[in-house]
Structure 1
Amino acid sequence: MTRKKIQIKKIDNIAARQVAFSKRRKGLFKKAKELAILCDAEIGLLVFSASGKLFDYASSSVQGLLEKHSSVHSENLPNLNEPSVEFQLESNIRAKLNEEVEKKRHELRQMKGEELQGLGLEELKKLEKSLLGGLSRVAEMMDGRNAELICDIGRKVDLLIEENQRLNQLKVEKMAYQTHNMQGHSSESIVNNSQDYDSSDTSLKLGLAPE
Protein backbone atom coordinates (compact mmCIF):
# COMPACT_ATOMS: atom_id res chain seq x y z
CA MET A 1 0.00 0.00 0.00
CA THR A 2 1.51 3.32 -1.09
CA ARG A 3 1.74 6.15 1.38
CA LYS A 4 -0.66 9.02 0.72
CA LYS A 5 1.17 12.10 -0.50
CA ILE A 6 0.65 15.11 1.77
CA GLN A 7 -0.21 18.37 0.07
CA ILE A 8 2.34 21.01 0.96
CA LYS A 9 0.30 23.88 2.33
CA LYS A 10 -0.38 25.46 5.69
CA ILE A 11 -2.18 23.11 8.10
CA ASP A 12 -5.32 24.83 9.34
CA ASN A 13 -5.87 22.68 12.44
CA ILE A 14 -3.70 24.14 15.21
CA ALA A 15 -3.20 20.85 17.06
CA ALA A 16 -2.30 18.97 13.87
CA ARG A 17 0.03 21.82 12.89
CA GLN A 18 1.87 21.61 16.22
CA VAL A 19 2.23 17.82 15.91
CA ALA A 20 3.55 18.13 12.34
CA PHE A 21 5.98 20.88 13.38
CA SER A 22 7.35 18.80 16.26
CA LYS A 23 7.80 15.66 14.14
CA ARG A 24 9.31 17.38 11.11
CA ARG A 25 11.59 19.56 13.25
CA LYS A 26 13.00 16.48 14.95
CA GLY A 27 13.40 14.82 11.56
CA LEU A 28 15.19 17.89 10.17
CA PHE A 29 17.58 18.03 13.12
CA LYS A 30 18.20 14.28 12.84
CA LYS A 31 19.10 14.60 9.14
CA ALA A 32 21.39 17.54 9.90
CA LYS A 33 23.15 15.54 12.61
CA GLU A 34 23.59 12.58 10.24
CA LEU A 35 24.99 14.85 7.54
CA ALA A 36 27.44 16.40 10.02
CA ILE A 37 28.66 12.96 11.17
CA LEU A 38 28.82 11.27 7.78
CA CYS A 39 30.48 14.13 5.93
CA ASP A 40 32.40 15.76 8.80
CA ALA A 41 30.52 18.98 8.10
CA GLU A 42 29.76 21.83 10.47
CA ILE A 43 26.03 22.55 10.43
CA GLY A 44 23.85 25.07 12.24
CA LEU A 45 20.06 25.42 12.15
CA LEU A 46 17.76 28.07 13.62
CA VAL A 47 14.01 27.38 13.70
CA PHE A 48 11.25 29.62 15.05
CA SER A 49 7.85 28.03 15.74
CA ALA A 50 4.57 29.79 14.98
CA SER A 51 4.44 30.88 18.63
CA GLY A 52 7.93 32.38 18.34
CA LYS A 53 9.79 29.70 20.31
CA LEU A 54 13.37 29.24 19.16
CA PHE A 55 14.83 25.79 18.40
CA ASP A 56 18.42 25.42 17.28
CA TYR A 57 20.90 22.72 16.36
CA ALA A 58 24.60 22.96 15.73
CA SER A 59 27.25 20.32 15.25
CA SER A 60 29.49 22.42 17.50
CA SER A 61 27.78 25.66 18.56
CA VAL A 62 25.65 28.25 16.79
CA GLN A 63 27.78 31.13 18.07
CA GLY A 64 30.96 29.37 16.99
CA LEU A 65 29.59 28.75 13.51
CA LEU A 66 28.54 32.39 13.13
CA GLU A 67 31.96 33.58 14.25
CA LYS A 68 33.68 31.16 11.88
CA HIS A 69 31.40 32.25 9.04
CA SER A 70 32.21 35.88 9.75
CA SER A 71 36.00 35.33 10.00
CA VAL A 72 36.25 33.13 6.88
CA HIS A 73 34.33 35.50 4.66
CA SER A 74 35.92 38.63 6.04
CA GLU A 75 39.31 37.22 4.97
CA ASN A 76 38.05 36.88 1.40
CA LEU A 77 36.67 40.39 1.21
CA PRO A 78 38.37 42.35 -1.57
CA ASN A 79 37.62 45.62 0.14
CA LEU A 80 36.93 45.86 3.85
CA ASN A 81 34.99 49.04 3.31
CA GLU A 82 32.49 47.22 1.10
CA PRO A 83 30.51 44.51 2.93
CA SER A 84 30.16 41.21 1.07
CA VAL A 85 26.92 39.44 0.27
CA GLU A 86 27.64 36.91 3.02
CA PHE A 87 28.23 39.66 5.56
CA GLN A 88 25.00 41.35 4.57
CA LEU A 89 23.19 38.02 4.90
CA GLU A 90 24.61 37.51 8.37
CA SER A 91 23.62 41.04 9.33
CA ASN A 92 20.13 40.43 8.01
CA ILE A 93 19.88 37.23 10.07
CA ARG A 94 20.98 39.02 13.22
CA ALA A 95 18.58 41.87 12.53
CA LYS A 96 15.79 39.34 11.99
CA LEU A 97 16.59 37.63 15.27
CA ASN A 98 16.64 40.94 17.13
CA GLU A 99 13.33 41.86 15.50
CA GLU A 100 11.78 38.54 16.57
CA VAL A 101 13.03 38.99 20.13
CA GLU A 102 11.64 42.52 20.33
CA LYS A 103 8.34 41.33 18.85
CA LYS A 104 8.00 38.63 21.48
CA ARG A 105 8.85 41.10 24.23
CA HIS A 106 6.15 43.43 22.90
CA GLU A 107 3.62 40.57 22.84
CA LEU A 108 4.58 39.63 26.40
CA ARG A 109 4.00 43.21 27.55
CA GLN A 110 0.60 43.19 25.84
CA MET A 111 -0.32 39.94 27.61
CA LYS A 112 0.49 41.77 30.85
CA GLY A 113 -2.00 44.47 29.86
CA GLU A 114 0.57 47.00 28.66
CA GLU A 115 0.90 48.86 25.33
CA LEU A 116 -2.66 48.06 24.17
CA GLN A 117 -3.50 51.50 22.78
CA GLY A 118 -2.64 50.74 19.16
CA LEU A 119 -4.56 47.44 18.94
CA GLY A 120 -7.77 47.11 16.96
CA LEU A 121 -10.86 45.13 17.92
CA GLU A 122 -9.78 41.97 16.11
CA GLU A 123 -6.31 42.12 17.63
CA LEU A 124 -7.80 42.57 21.10
CA LYS A 125 -10.10 39.59 20.54
CA LYS A 126 -7.13 37.48 19.41
CA LEU A 127 -5.17 38.54 22.50
CA GLU A 128 -8.17 37.77 24.72
CA LYS A 129 -8.49 34.30 23.16
CA SER A 130 -4.81 33.63 23.73
CA LEU A 131 -5.05 34.73 27.36
CA LEU A 132 -8.18 32.63 27.96
CA GLY A 133 -6.43 29.60 26.48
CA GLY A 134 -3.46 30.17 28.79
CA LEU A 135 -5.75 30.62 31.81
CA SER A 136 -7.57 27.41 30.91
CA ARG A 137 -4.31 25.47 30.84
CA VAL A 138 -3.25 27.02 34.15
CA ALA A 139 -6.64 26.10 35.68
CA GLU A 140 -6.27 22.51 34.47
CA MET A 141 -2.80 22.33 35.99
CA MET A 142 -4.08 23.76 39.29
CA ASP A 143 -6.97 21.27 39.36
CA GLY A 144 -4.51 18.43 38.88
CA ARG A 145 -2.23 19.72 41.64
CA ASN A 146 -5.21 20.25 43.98
CA ALA A 147 -6.43 16.71 43.33
CA GLU A 148 -2.99 15.34 44.15
CA LEU A 149 -2.89 17.45 47.33
CA ILE A 150 -6.33 16.24 48.43
CA CYS A 151 -5.33 12.60 47.86
CA ASP A 152 -2.14 13.14 49.84
CA ILE A 153 -4.09 14.73 52.72
CA GLY A 154 -6.57 11.82 52.62
CA ARG A 155 -3.73 9.30 52.90
CA LYS A 156 -2.27 11.18 55.87
CA VAL A 157 -5.67 11.31 57.60
CA ASP A 158 -6.08 7.55 57.12
CA LEU A 159 -2.65 6.96 58.65
CA LEU A 160 -3.52 9.20 61.62
CA ILE A 161 -6.81 7.33 62.18
CA GLU A 162 -5.03 3.98 62.10
CA GLU A 163 -2.39 5.23 64.54
CA ASN A 164 -5.09 6.62 66.85
CA GLN A 165 -6.94 3.30 66.81
CA ARG A 166 -3.72 1.45 67.60
CA LEU A 167 -2.98 3.75 70.56
CA ASN A 168 -6.54 3.38 71.86
CA GLN A 169 -6.22 -0.41 71.66
CA LEU A 170 -2.96 -0.27 73.61
CA LYS A 171 -4.62 1.96 76.20
CA VAL A 172 -7.53 -0.47 76.62
CA GLU A 173 -5.17 -3.43 76.98
CA LYS A 174 -3.11 -1.54 79.57
CA MET A 175 -6.23 -0.63 81.60
CA ALA A 176 -7.43 -4.24 81.48
CA TYR A 177 -4.02 -5.44 82.68
CA GLN A 178 -4.01 -2.91 85.56
CA THR A 179 -7.57 -3.88 86.55
CA HIS A 180 -6.61 -7.55 86.57
CA ASN A 181 -3.63 -6.84 88.83
CA MET A 182 -5.75 -4.73 91.19
CA GLN A 183 -8.33 -7.52 91.48
CA GLY A 184 -5.53 -9.99 92.27
CA HIS A 185 -4.16 -7.74 95.03
CA SER A 186 -7.67 -7.27 96.49
CA SER A 187 -8.21 -11.04 96.72
CA GLU A 188 -4.89 -11.48 98.50
CA SER A 189 -5.79 -8.67 100.91
CA ILE A 190 -9.13 -10.31 101.74
CA VAL A 191 -7.46 -13.65 102.43
CA ASN A 192 -4.84 -12.00 104.65
CA ASN A 193 -7.51 -10.09 106.56
CA SER A 194 -9.44 -13.29 107.11
CA GLN A 195 -6.37 -15.01 108.48
CA ASP A 196 -5.66 -12.09 110.79
CA TYR A 197 -9.25 -12.17 112.06
CA ASP A 198 -9.06 -15.87 112.86
CA SER A 199 -5.82 -15.40 114.78
CA SER A 200 -7.25 -12.51 116.81
CA ASP A 201 -10.38 -14.46 117.61
CA THR A 202 -8.38 -17.39 118.96
CA SER A 203 -6.30 -15.21 121.20
CA LEU A 204 -9.41 -13.59 122.69
CA LYS A 205 -10.96 -16.91 123.50
CA LEU A 206 -7.83 -17.99 125.27
CA GLY A 207 -7.73 -14.77 127.22
CA LEU A 208 -11.36 -15.17 128.49
CA ALA A 209 -10.96 -18.70 129.78
CA PRO A 210 -12.27 -19.19 133.41
CA GLU A 211 -9.73 -19.30 136.21
Structure 2
Amino acid sequence: MGRGPVQLRRIENKINRQVTFSKRRNGLLKKAHEISVLCDAEVALIVFSTKGKLYEYSSQDSSMDVILERYQRYSFEERAVLDPNIGDQANWGDEYGRLKIKLDALQKSQRQLLGEQLEPLTTRELQQLEQQLDSSLKHIRSRKNQLLFDSISELQKKEKSLKDQNGVLQKHLVETEKEKNNALSNIQHREQLNEKNTALPNTHDREQQNGATTSSPSPTPLTVLDSMPNLNIGSHQPREAGGEPESQPSPAQANSGKLPPWMLRTISNR
Protein backbone atom coordinates (compact mmCIF):
# COMPACT_ATOMS: atom_id res chain seq x y z
CA MET A 1 0.00 0.00 0.00
CA GLY A 2 1.35 3.40 -0.94
CA ARG A 3 1.67 6.21 1.45
CA GLY A 4 -1.37 8.44 1.37
CA PRO A 5 -1.34 12.25 1.22
CA VAL A 6 -0.26 13.98 4.37
CA GLN A 7 -2.77 16.37 5.76
CA LEU A 8 -1.12 19.68 6.57
CA ARG A 9 -2.32 21.31 9.72
CA ARG A 10 -0.88 23.36 12.53
CA ILE A 11 1.17 21.40 15.03
CA GLU A 12 -0.37 21.88 18.38
CA ASN A 13 2.64 20.85 20.43
CA LYS A 14 4.85 23.90 20.86
CA ILE A 15 8.09 21.96 21.10
CA ASN A 16 7.31 19.81 18.09
CA ARG A 17 6.28 22.91 16.21
CA GLN A 18 9.61 24.64 16.97
CA VAL A 19 11.61 21.56 15.97
CA THR A 20 9.68 21.21 12.73
CA PHE A 21 10.16 24.92 12.01
CA SER A 22 13.92 24.67 12.47
CA LYS A 23 14.16 21.58 10.24
CA ARG A 24 11.94 22.94 7.49
CA ARG A 25 13.64 26.37 7.65
CA ASN A 26 17.10 24.87 7.21
CA GLY A 27 15.85 22.69 4.37
CA LEU A 28 14.22 25.68 2.70
CA LEU A 29 17.42 27.75 2.96
CA LYS A 30 19.40 24.82 1.59
CA LYS A 31 17.05 24.44 -1.37
CA ALA A 32 17.24 28.18 -2.06
CA HIS A 33 21.04 28.04 -2.06
CA GLU A 34 21.05 24.99 -4.33
CA ILE A 35 18.76 26.56 -6.92
CA SER A 36 20.80 29.79 -6.92
CA VAL A 37 24.05 27.87 -7.51
CA LEU A 38 22.80 25.21 -9.91
CA CYS A 39 20.60 27.47 -12.02
CA ASP A 40 22.51 30.75 -11.58
CA ALA A 41 19.33 32.39 -10.36
CA GLU A 42 18.85 35.38 -8.10
CA VAL A 43 17.01 34.09 -5.04
CA ALA A 44 15.72 36.03 -2.06
CA LEU A 45 14.09 34.26 0.89
CA ILE A 46 12.45 35.95 3.88
CA VAL A 47 11.09 33.99 6.83
CA PHE A 48 9.63 35.35 10.07
CA SER A 49 9.16 33.00 13.00
CA THR A 50 6.15 33.04 15.36
CA LYS A 51 8.25 35.17 17.71
CA GLY A 52 8.93 37.71 14.96
CA LYS A 53 12.56 36.72 14.34
CA LEU A 54 13.78 37.31 10.80
CA TYR A 55 15.52 34.68 8.69
CA GLU A 56 16.58 35.66 5.19
CA TYR A 57 18.72 34.42 2.33
CA SER A 58 19.91 36.08 -0.86
CA SER A 59 22.08 34.71 -3.67
CA GLN A 60 25.82 35.28 -3.48
CA ASP A 61 26.18 37.96 -6.17
CA SER A 62 23.06 39.91 -5.18
CA SER A 63 21.93 41.57 -2.01
CA MET A 64 18.44 41.48 -0.55
CA ASP A 65 17.84 45.17 -1.29
CA VAL A 66 18.72 44.78 -4.97
CA ILE A 67 16.41 41.78 -5.37
CA LEU A 68 13.54 43.53 -3.60
CA GLU A 69 14.01 46.62 -5.72
CA ARG A 70 13.94 44.48 -8.85
CA TYR A 71 10.81 42.76 -7.58
CA GLN A 72 9.09 46.09 -7.00
CA ARG A 73 10.06 47.35 -10.44
CA TYR A 74 8.81 44.24 -12.21
CA SER A 75 5.67 44.18 -10.12
CA PHE A 76 4.93 47.83 -10.93
CA GLU A 77 5.58 47.27 -14.65
CA GLU A 78 3.33 44.22 -14.67
CA ARG A 79 0.53 46.16 -13.02
CA ALA A 80 1.03 48.99 -15.49
CA VAL A 81 0.66 46.56 -18.40
CA LEU A 82 -2.48 45.09 -16.94
CA ASP A 83 -3.97 48.47 -16.08
CA PRO A 84 -2.78 51.31 -18.40
CA ASN A 85 -4.28 53.95 -16.13
CA ILE A 86 -2.07 53.01 -13.21
CA GLY A 87 0.63 55.39 -14.39
CA ASP A 88 -1.72 58.33 -14.16
CA GLN A 89 -3.05 57.15 -10.83
CA ALA A 90 0.35 56.75 -9.24
CA ASN A 91 0.93 59.01 -6.35
CA TRP A 92 4.11 61.04 -6.40
CA GLY A 93 4.34 60.70 -2.66
CA ASP A 94 4.57 56.94 -2.97
CA GLU A 95 7.23 57.32 -5.66
CA TYR A 96 9.19 59.63 -3.39
CA GLY A 97 8.86 57.14 -0.56
CA ARG A 98 10.18 54.32 -2.73
CA LEU A 99 13.10 56.42 -3.94
CA LYS A 100 13.86 57.47 -0.37
CA ILE A 101 13.90 53.86 0.76
CA LYS A 102 16.13 52.94 -2.15
CA LEU A 103 18.53 55.77 -1.35
CA ASP A 104 18.69 54.80 2.31
CA ALA A 105 19.35 51.18 1.40
CA LEU A 106 22.14 52.16 -0.98
CA GLN A 107 23.75 54.47 1.57
CA LYS A 108 23.51 51.75 4.21
CA SER A 109 25.08 49.21 1.86
CA GLN A 110 27.86 51.64 1.00
CA ARG A 111 28.64 52.31 4.66
CA GLN A 112 28.69 48.60 5.39
CA LEU A 113 31.07 48.02 2.49
CA LEU A 114 33.32 50.68 4.03
CA GLY A 115 33.23 48.81 7.36
CA GLU A 116 30.78 51.08 9.14
CA GLN A 117 27.53 50.27 10.99
CA LEU A 118 28.28 46.55 11.19
CA GLU A 119 26.80 46.11 14.69
CA PRO A 120 23.19 45.22 13.68
CA LEU A 121 24.37 42.64 11.13
CA THR A 122 24.18 38.94 11.94
CA THR A 123 26.90 36.39 11.31
CA ARG A 124 25.33 35.32 8.05
CA GLU A 125 24.98 38.90 6.85
CA LEU A 126 28.62 39.52 7.70
CA GLN A 127 29.58 36.40 5.74
CA GLN A 128 27.57 37.63 2.76
CA LEU A 129 29.22 41.05 3.03
CA GLU A 130 32.61 39.38 3.20
CA GLN A 131 31.80 37.33 0.09
CA GLN A 132 30.74 40.49 -1.72
CA LEU A 133 33.99 42.20 -0.75
CA ASP A 134 36.03 39.16 -1.85
CA SER A 135 34.23 39.10 -5.18
CA SER A 136 34.78 42.84 -5.60
CA LEU A 137 38.47 42.44 -4.74
CA LYS A 138 38.79 39.65 -7.30
CA HIS A 139 37.30 41.86 -9.99
CA ILE A 140 39.50 44.77 -8.93
CA ARG A 141 42.67 42.65 -8.91
CA SER A 142 41.75 41.12 -12.27
CA ARG A 143 41.23 44.54 -13.78
CA LYS A 144 44.43 45.86 -12.22
CA ASN A 145 46.46 42.90 -13.52
CA GLN A 146 44.95 43.34 -16.97
CA LEU A 147 45.94 47.01 -16.99
CA LEU A 148 49.44 46.12 -15.80
CA PHE A 149 49.81 43.46 -18.50
CA ASP A 150 48.60 45.91 -21.15
CA SER A 151 51.03 48.53 -19.88
CA ILE A 152 53.92 46.06 -19.89
CA SER A 153 53.03 44.94 -23.41
CA GLU A 154 52.89 48.54 -24.59
CA LEU A 155 56.26 49.29 -22.97
CA GLN A 156 57.78 46.22 -24.63
CA LYS A 157 56.47 47.37 -28.00
CA LYS A 158 57.94 50.83 -27.41
CA GLU A 159 61.26 49.29 -26.33
CA LYS A 160 61.36 47.18 -29.49
CA SER A 161 60.53 50.21 -31.62
CA LEU A 162 63.27 52.25 -29.93
CA LYS A 163 65.77 49.44 -30.47
CA ASP A 164 64.88 49.30 -34.15
CA GLN A 165 65.27 53.07 -34.45
CA ASN A 166 68.57 52.89 -32.60
CA GLY A 167 69.81 50.22 -35.00
CA VAL A 168 68.80 52.32 -38.01
CA LEU A 169 70.52 55.39 -36.54
CA GLN A 170 73.70 53.43 -35.81
CA LYS A 171 73.73 52.08 -39.36
CA HIS A 172 73.21 55.58 -40.74
CA LEU A 173 76.00 56.89 -38.48
CA VAL A 174 78.41 54.21 -39.72
CA GLU A 175 77.57 55.03 -43.33
CA THR A 176 78.05 58.74 -42.63
CA GLU A 177 81.44 58.07 -41.04
CA LYS A 178 82.48 56.00 -44.07
CA GLU A 179 81.41 58.74 -46.45
CA LYS A 180 83.25 61.33 -44.36
CA ASN A 181 86.43 59.25 -44.32
CA ASN A 182 86.20 58.69 -48.08
CA ALA A 183 85.71 62.42 -48.64
CA LEU A 184 88.73 63.23 -46.44
CA SER A 185 90.89 60.67 -48.25
CA ASN A 186 89.82 62.11 -51.61
CA ILE A 187 90.67 65.62 -50.44
CA GLN A 188 94.07 64.50 -49.17
CA HIS A 189 94.74 62.67 -52.44
CA ARG A 190 93.85 65.79 -54.43
CA GLU A 191 96.11 67.93 -52.25
CA GLN A 192 98.96 65.50 -52.78
CA LEU A 193 98.39 65.57 -56.54
CA ASN A 194 98.28 69.37 -56.50
CA GLU A 195 101.54 69.48 -54.52
CA LYS A 196 103.16 67.11 -56.98
CA ASN A 197 101.88 69.10 -59.96
CA THR A 198 103.19 72.31 -58.37
CA ALA A 199 106.56 70.78 -57.54
CA LEU A 200 107.16 69.40 -61.08
CA PRO A 201 107.33 72.85 -62.88
CA ASN A 202 109.60 74.23 -60.16
CA THR A 203 111.92 71.26 -60.52
CA HIS A 204 111.84 71.64 -64.32
CA ASP A 205 112.67 75.36 -64.01
CA ARG A 206 115.51 74.62 -61.61
CA GLU A 207 116.82 71.95 -63.98
CA GLN A 208 116.63 74.41 -66.89
CA GLN A 209 118.42 77.06 -64.84
CA ASN A 210 121.07 74.58 -63.81
CA GLY A 211 121.41 73.43 -67.42
CA ALA A 212 121.67 77.01 -68.65
CA THR A 213 124.32 77.81 -66.08
CA THR A 214 126.26 74.75 -67.01
CA SER A 215 126.01 75.34 -70.79
CA SER A 216 126.84 79.09 -70.73
CA PRO A 217 129.93 79.80 -73.04
CA SER A 218 133.27 80.79 -71.56
CA PRO A 219 134.63 84.27 -72.35
CA THR A 220 136.43 84.58 -75.71
CA PRO A 221 140.15 85.01 -75.82
CA LEU A 222 139.57 88.38 -77.25
CA THR A 223 137.60 89.47 -74.21
CA VAL A 224 140.35 88.11 -72.02
CA LEU A 225 142.89 89.75 -74.08
CA ASP A 226 140.97 93.00 -74.04
CA SER A 227 140.84 92.88 -70.33
CA MET A 228 144.55 92.40 -70.11
CA PRO A 229 146.57 95.54 -69.30
CA ASN A 230 148.37 97.35 -72.10
CA LEU A 231 152.04 96.68 -72.22
CA ASN A 232 152.81 99.95 -74.03
CA ILE A 233 155.64 98.36 -75.96
CA GLY A 234 157.23 100.78 -78.37
CA SER A 235 157.34 104.55 -78.51
CA HIS A 236 154.34 106.76 -78.10
CA GLN A 237 154.47 110.39 -78.89
CA PRO A 238 151.97 112.56 -77.18
CA ARG A 239 150.41 115.25 -79.16
CA GLU A 240 151.46 118.78 -78.73
CA ALA A 241 149.38 121.27 -76.92
CA GLY A 242 147.11 123.10 -79.25
CA GLY A 243 148.15 120.94 -82.21
CA GLU A 244 146.14 118.53 -84.22
CA PRO A 245 146.03 115.00 -83.09
CA GLU A 246 148.25 112.67 -84.88
CA SER A 247 146.75 110.08 -87.12
CA GLN A 248 145.60 106.98 -85.34
CA PRO A 249 147.56 103.88 -86.20
CA SER A 250 145.77 100.79 -87.51
CA PRO A 251 144.77 98.11 -85.10
CA ALA A 252 147.58 95.94 -86.31
CA GLN A 253 150.04 98.76 -85.83
CA ALA A 254 148.59 99.70 -82.51
CA ASN A 255 148.81 96.20 -81.24
CA SER A 256 152.10 95.45 -82.92
CA GLY A 257 153.93 96.36 -79.84
CA LYS A 258 151.41 94.68 -77.51
CA LEU A 259 150.54 91.23 -78.99
CA PRO A 260 152.62 88.49 -80.50
CA PRO A 261 152.48 88.09 -84.26
CA TRP A 262 150.36 84.91 -84.26
CA MET A 263 147.63 86.74 -82.43
CA LEU A 264 147.81 89.59 -84.85
CA ARG A 265 147.15 87.28 -87.77
CA THR A 266 144.09 85.93 -86.04
CA ILE A 267 142.73 89.39 -85.40
CA SER A 268 143.41 90.55 -88.94
CA ASN A 269 141.65 87.53 -90.38
CA ARG A 270 138.53 88.45 -88.35
Distance 1:110 1:65, change over 3 A: farther
Whether 1:69 aligns to 2:89 is yes
**Aligned pair partner of 1:12 in 30, 34, 38:** 34
Cα distance in 2 for partners of 1:97, 1:197 equals: 109
**Distance change >3 Å, CA 68–CA 170, structure 1 → 2:** same
Under a length normalisation based on structure 1, what TM-score does the superposition of the two structures give?
0.59
Determine whether 1:190 maps to 2:192. Answer: yes
**Alignment partner, residue 203 of structure 2:** 201
Partner of 1:151: 153
- Identity of paired residues, percent? 17
Q: Which residue does the alignment assign to 1:161?
A: 163
Change over 3 Å in CA distance of 1:104–1:131 after alignment to 2: same
Deviation at 1:139, TM superposition (A): 0.2
| In structure 1, C-alpha distance between the alignment counterparts of 2:85 and 2:115, rounded to whole Å | 39
CA displacement at 1:14 relative to structure 2: 4.6
Distance (Å, rounded) in 2 between the aligned partners of 1:166 and 1:124: 62
Tell me what 2:133 maps to.
131
SS in 1 for 2:125: helix
Please say which structure displays the higher CA radius of gyration.
2
Cα separation, partners in 2 of 1:106 and 1:140, compared to 1, 3 Å: same
In structure 2, the CA distance between the partners of 1:95 and 1:200, relative to structure 1 (3 Å rule), is same
Q: 2-side partners of 1:11 and 1:124: how far apart? A: 17
Corresponding residue of 2:143: 141
Given candidates 114, 119, 123, the residue that maps to 1:121 is 123
Q: Secondary structure at the match of 2:34?
A: coil
Displacement of 1:115 in angstroms is 1.0
More helix by share: 1
Q: Could you say what the CA RMSD is over the residues aligned between the two structures, in angstroms?
A: 3.5
* CA–CA separation in structure 2 for the residues paired with 1:140 and 1:152: 18
1:94 deviates by: 6.4
State how many pairs are aligned: 154
1:5 alignment counterpart: none
Q: Which runs of 5+ in 1 are unaligned?
A: 1-8, 22-48, 71-86
User: Structure 1 residues 128 and 140, CA, compared in 2 at 3 Å: closer, same or farther?
Assistant: same
Contact 1:11 1:17 survives alignment (8 Å): no
| Aligned-residue offset at 1:166 | 0.9
Cα distance change on mapping 1:157 and 1:65 into 2, 3 Å: farther
Which segments of 5 or more consecutive residues in structure 2 lack a partner in the other structure? Answer: 1-30, 43-60, 217-270
Question: Amino acid of the residue matched to residue 195 of structure 1?
Answer: N
Which letter does structure 2 place at the counterpart of 1:12? E
TM-score by length of 2: 0.47
Question: Displacement of 1:167 after TM fit?
Answer: 1.2
1:66 & 1:99 partners in 2: Cα distance? Answer: 21
Task: Tell me how far apart the structure 1 counterparts of residues 85 and 104 of structure 2 sit (CA, whole Å).
Answer: 24
For residues 165 and 65 of structure 1, the distance between their equivalents in structure 2, rounded to whole angstroms, comes to 77
Question: Residue 103 of structure 1: CA displacement?
Answer: 2.2
